[in-house]
Amino acid sequence: MTSLLYLDYVALIIYYFMLVAWFFRLRKRRSYKGLYLPLLLVATFTCVFDIFTIIFNVEGSYFFVLKYLLNGFYLVLRSLIPLLYVGYIISVTETWHKIVNNSYIKCLIALPCVISAIMTITSPLTHLIYYIDDSGLYKRGPAIFILYIDAAIYFILCLYFCIRYSELLKPEKYIPLLSIIPSQVATVIIQLMFPHILCEMIATAISLLLIMITIEKQEEKFNPSTGLLKSEIFYDMIDNAKSVSRPYSAIFINIANHSLLSDYLPLSGMVALYSSVARRLEAIGSQLKISAEIYDLENGLFSVVLYGDDIEFANRYASYAFETLKHDCMVNGLNLTVLPSVCVFKFPEDTKSVEQLRLFLSDLRNHKYSNGVNLASTYMKNKDYTIMANMDTILKDAIENDRFEVYYQPIYSNEKNGFNSAEALLRLITPEYGFIRPDLFIPMAEESGAIHKIGLIVLEKVCRFISSDEFKKLGLDYIEVNLSVVQCMDKNLADKILSVCKKYGVNPSQLNLEITETASIFTQRNMIKNINRLFETGYSFSLDDFGTGYSNLVRIASLPLNIVKLDKSFTWTENSEDLKIILENTINMIKKMNMKIVVEGVETEEMLKRFKDLGCEYIQGYYFSKPLPEYDFINYIKDAS
Ligand code: C2E
Ligand code: MG
Ligand code: MG
CA of 569 to the centre of ligand 2 (A): 13
Classify residue 197 by its DSSP letter: B
> Which residues have CB atoms below 5 A from the ion given as ligand 3?
544-545
Distance CA 311, CA 332 (A): 37
> By three-state DSSP, how is residue 114 classified?
helix
With a 6 Å cutoff on the Cβ, whether 338 touches ligand 1 is no
Distance CA 491, CA 530 (A): 7
User: 571-627: per-residue pLDDT in tens?
Assistant: 887 767 788 888 889 899 999 999 999 999 999 999 999 999 999 999 999 999 999
Cβ atoms 121, 131 nearer than 8 A? no
Distance CA 357, CA 351 (A): 7
User: 376-387: per-residue pLDDT in tens?
Assistant: 988 877 778 888
Cβ atoms 125, 141 nearer than 8 A? no
Distance CA 531, CA 483 (A): 11
Nearest to 258 by CA among 318, 301, 297: 301
Beta bridge pairs of residue 421: 411, 478
> Which pLDDT band holds residue 128 (cuts at 50, 70, 90)?
very high
Distance CA 540, CA 560 (A): 8
> Which pLDDT band holds residue 71 (cuts at 50, 70, 90)?
very high
CA of 508 to the centre of ligand 2 (A): 18
Distance CA 628, CA 337 (A): 48
Q: Which residue has the higher pLDDT, 307 or 598?
A: 598
Nearest to 522 by CA among 510, 534, 530: 530
Residue nearest (by alpha carbon) to ligand 1 atom 42: 482
CA of 289 to the centre of ligand 3 (A): 53
Q: Which of 421, 440, 442, 610 to probe ligand 1 with, by most ligand atoms within 8 A of CB? A: 442
- For 133-262, strand residue ranges (E) read 138-140, 229-230, 248-255
Is the sign of the CA dihedral 62, 63, 68, 73 positive or negative? negative
The pLDDT value given to residue 549: 65
3-class secondary structure for 421-435? EEEEEEEEEECCCEE
Classify residue 244 by its DSSP letter: T
CA of 438 to the centre of ligand 1 (A): 7
The pLDDT value given to residue 102: 76
Distance CA 259, CA 226 (A): 18
Classify residue 306 by its DSSP letter: E
Distance CA 39, CA 43 (A): 6
> Which pLDDT band holds residue 368 (cuts at 50, 70, 90)?
low
User: 208-252: per-residue pLDDT in tens?
Assistant: 999 888 888 766 788 888 889 999 999 988 988 888 888 999 999
Residue nearest (by alpha carbon) to ligand 1 atom 10: 627
User: 431-470: per-residue pLDDT in tens?
Assistant: 999 999 999 999 899 989 999 999 999 999 999 999 999 9
